[in-house]
Amino acid sequence: MPKCGFDFGKRYGRIGIGYAQVHHLRPLSSVPAKGVKSKLSHLAIVCANCHVMIHHGGQCRPLKNLIAQ
């Protein structure tokens, strides 16, 4: 999985250490109304900045295209 390199701990100090968000690799809008169990393999840990850019403008961009390798 690509990593953007942003470090919340370095930027915000103690409050930012270990901070991350979880992104569903399969858009939740595409799951059945009755729901589906999420597995760890269905999730990606991303920083908040990247998570916003993944969904900016209502999109669901692939991680591999968002973060430069």
Per-residue pLDDT of the chain (69 residues; tens, 9 = 90+): 557 888 899 999 999 998 999 999 988 888 888 888 889 999 999 988 889 999 999 999 888 878 765
3-state helix vs strand vs coil in the chain, percent to 5: 45, 10, 45
Q: Where are the domains of the chain?
A: 8-66
Task: Return the amino acid letter for 26.
Answer: R
Residue 27 token pair: 């858009």
SS3 8: helix
Cβ 50 vs Cβ 68: under 8 Å: no
| pTM (two decimals) | 0.76
Q: Look at residue 11 in the predicted model and tell me its pLDDT.
A: 93
> Could you tell me which of 33, 35, 9, 34 has the C-alpha nearest to residue 20?
9
